[in-house]
Chains A and B, each alone.
Chain A
Amino acid sequence: MLRLRRNLSRKYWDLKMASRKTAKSRKAEKKVTYPSAAAMPPMAVSSFDMSYNHTGTWRSLKPKIDYEKCIYCLICWKFCPEPAISLDSVVVKGKEKEKPVINYTYCKGCGICWTECPVEAIEALEEQR
């Protein structure tokens, strides 16, 4: 299950990164029109790519991971609902580890990661804009 979720998350993330758009094309993408009634899906359904939806702008508290305290348990990554935490392969004390990295373009600041972190390695900072 863990592996499955990880692969899914990675795939999703890669696609998000690959489809980074300019401001102009993002604007065009938001406006969806259909050439005919038949071409419009019968229900409200998103297209696959929601990468233009920068949910990071919603944030009022900003999580910051202290990698000195981090034990690489990946609980934050598992719980992140967006998902805005990706994994980065690093070598720590000679061992290969996966390090959680927060993507602030999509992190909503929901607080689940800093609530769930077992070693209090994630700090909630006031968002400065």
Chain B
Amino acid sequence: MRKVLMGNHAISWGALLSRAQVIAAYPITPQTQAVELLAEMCAEGKLDAKFVKVESEHSAMAACIGASAAGARAFTATSGQGLALMHEMLHWAAGARTPVVLANINRAMAPPWTIWTDQNDSLSQRDTGWMQVYCQNNQEVVDSIIQAYRVSEQALLPVMVVLDAFVLSHTLETVDLPDQEQVDAYLPSFDPEFKLDPDNPRTFGGLTAMDGYFELRYKMHQSMEQSKGLWEETGREFGEVFGRPYGLIETYKTADAELLIVTSSTIASTARVAVDRLREKGRKVGLLRIRVFRPFPTEEIREILSSVKKAVVIDRNISYGSSGIFCQEVKAAMYNTANRPPIFGIITGLGGRDVSSTDIINIVERTDSKPLPDSDIIFEGVTIQ
């Protein structure tokens, strides 16, 4: 069924098609419509789920963890400051190995108050043990939520499906909604081995001393590593069933590329246009979009980057005093390899400032005269001298 949907409603449809059983969410701009539609779906009986109204995002995540620990499929959505308030519970969800799925709309952090997009909110949660998927369009939002449950319930790690504020959340796009029957066949119901059960009472997450904590963390990392294969397999099978395959990364015209643009989210869709325009000028440029950021697709990135002469990483985020976060990760992935190209790290579009294809062409062309970057962090579009 083809529908014209904004990103927020794509989130709600993703949760509906995945048959989420417990939804606990607190509204926040720019996510509000996602929660409103989910509440409507529950009220109308379209979605057979318990909708829990909570007093904060911290409680929303806590409710989701409880529901998931009891064996229910739990869903929530938030954005920016809301995600920051969830921080403690994000660690708890991952450590308790509860496969909660969260849709996060990238909203720049305050102060100053802002509601527009950048990735600092979700990237601040990088080390919580959550898997992170960055979407480039509303179709991918629906598809990724369905895939997220399949991966997370096998890996027993929660998933954050991330999309840009307004650029996706409030933009109407054509979305092909999968058939419920097909989704049901693709996504089996959730039946965890360990759960809260009155007939078999257990303590979860109790005090664990030096003899066990380390091993549990080791296992978390192992599951994260194994989930790379799960994402690949789940994305491939999704393609077989629904005609839209997905992977950890997406490449565009990389086969003969000499210069590679590496980026994520909606900047990647704009970069595709920039690649075409640069190719018209005779430049051998390609694009690598990082879709799954955790687990980080190190091998895939190494394979592609080791065959190019130069890479430009465009970050809509910043680690103050260091550089762009995707850039740090790409550089770290390349360091222990023999053929690593110079990597230019660009920061642009913070606080939702528009990044056009011309901006991306300018970024690429400015690197032409430079065999190596002048600085580890290059700002594009700052209007003060």
The CA of A37 and the CA of B217, in the complex, are separated in Å by: 12
Which residues of A are found within 8 Å of B216, using beta-carbon distances? 40, 42-44
The CA of A37 and the CA of B198, in the complex, are separated in Å by: 28
* A37-B219, A37-B222 given; A44·B198 CB < 8 A: no
Pair A40/B208 contact, Cβ less than 8 Å: no
Main secondary structure of the interface of A (DSSP, over half): loop
Which residues of A are found within 8 Å of B200, using beta-carbon distances? 48
Q: Does B282 contact A (CB under 8 A)?
A: no
The CA of A47 and the CA of B205, in the complex, are separated in Å by: 12
Q: How far is the CB of A1 from chain B (nearest CB, A)?
A: 12
Closest to B95 in A: A43
Which residues of B are found within 8 Å of A46, using beta-carbon distances? 202-204, 206
- Within A16-70, which residues are at the interface with B (CB < 8 Å)? 31-32, 37, 40-48, 50
19 A-B pairs with CB atoms under 8 Å apart are A31-B211, A37-B215, A37-B219, A40-B215, A40-B219, A42-B219, A42-B220, A42-B223, A43-B96, A43-B156, A44-B204, A44-B205, A44-B206, A44-B212, A45-B202, A45-B203, A46-B206, A48-B200, A48-B201
Pair A41/B194 contact, Cβ less than 8 Å: yes
Closest to A41 in B: B194
Q: How far is the CB of A77 from chain B (nearest CB, A)?
A: 17
The CA of A104 and the CA of B211, in the complex, are separated in Å by: 30
The contact string, 1 if C-beta is below 8 Å from chain B, for chain A 76-93, is: 000000000000000000
Which residues of A are found within 8 Å of B222, using beta-carbon distances? 37
Q: How far is the CB of B53 from chain A (nearest CB, A)?
A: 25
Closest to A4 in B: B198
Q: How far is the CB of A121 from chain B (nearest CB, A)?
A: 29
Most chain B C-beta atoms within 10 Å of own C-beta, residue among A40, A44, A50: A44
Pair B205/A43 contact, Cβ less than 8 Å: yes
Which residues of B are found within 8 Å of A32, using beta-carbon distances? 211-212
Pair B203/A43 contact, Cβ less than 8 Å: no
The CA of A32 and the CA of B209, in the complex, are separated in Å by: 11
3 cross-chain pairs, A with B, having the tightest CB-CB distances, nearest first: A46-B203, A43-B97, A42-B97
Which residues of B are found within 8 Å of A41, using beta-carbon distances? 194
- Within B126-165, which residues are at the interface with A (CB < 8 Å)? 156
The CA of A43 and the CA of B219, in the complex, are separated in Å by: 9
The CA of A12 and the CA of B199, in the complex, are separated in Å by: 10
Which residues of B are found within 8 Å of A47, using beta-carbon distances? 202
- Within B52-111, which residues are at the interface with A (CB < 8 Å)? 95-97
Q: How far is the CB of B313 from chain A (nearest CB, A)?
A: 34
Pair A42/B156 contact, Cβ less than 8 Å: yes
The CA of A48 and the CA of B219, in the complex, are separated in Å by: 22
Q: How far is the CB of A10 from chain B (nearest CB, A)?
A: 13
Which residues of A are found within 8 Å of B212, using beta-carbon distances? 32, 44
Closest to A31 in B: B211
Q: How far is the CB of A38 from chain B (nearest CB, A)?
A: 9
Q: Does A8 contact B (CB under 8 A)?
A: yes
Which residues of A are found within 8 Å of B95, using beta-carbon distances? 43
Which residues of B are found within 8 Å of A42, using beta-carbon distances? 97, 156, 194, 216, 219-220, 223
The CA of A46 and the CA of B206, in the complex, are separated in Å by: 8
The contact string, 1 if C-beta is below 8 Å from chain A, for chain B 6-46, is: 00000000000000000000000000000000000000000
Pair B215/A48 contact, Cβ less than 8 Å: no
The contact string, 1 if C-beta is below 8 Å from chain A, for chain B 209-251, is: 0011001101110110000000000000000000000000000
Q: How far is the CB of B220 from chain A (nearest CB, A)?
A: 8
Which residues of B are found within 8 Å of A12, using beta-carbon distances? 201
Q: How far is the CB of B257 from chain A (nearest CB, A)?
A: 40
Which residues of B are found within 8 Å of A45, using beta-carbon distances? 194, 202-204
Closest to A37 in B: B219
- Within A82-118, which residues are at the interface with B (CB < 8 Å)? none
Pair A44/B208 contact, Cβ less than 8 Å: yes
Pair B198/A8 contact, Cβ less than 8 Å: yes
The CA of A32 and the CA of B206, in the complex, are separated in Å by: 14
Most chain B C-beta atoms within 10 Å of own C-beta, residue among A12, A32, A43, A50: A43
Q: How far is the CB of A55 from chain B (nearest CB, A)?
A: 13
Closest to B194 in A: A45
Which residues of A are found within 8 Å of B208, using beta-carbon distances? 44
Which residues of B are found within 8 Å of A31, using beta-carbon distances? 211
Which residues of A are found within 8 Å of B206, using beta-carbon distances? 44, 46
Which residues of B are found within 8 Å of A48, using beta-carbon distances? 200-202
* A37-B219, A37-B222 given; A43·B198 CB < 8 A: no
Closest to B205 in A: A44
Q: How far is the CB of A48 from chain B (nearest CB, A)?
A: 6
The CA of A31 and the CA of B211, in the complex, are separated in Å by: 9
Pair B203/A50 contact, Cβ less than 8 Å: yes
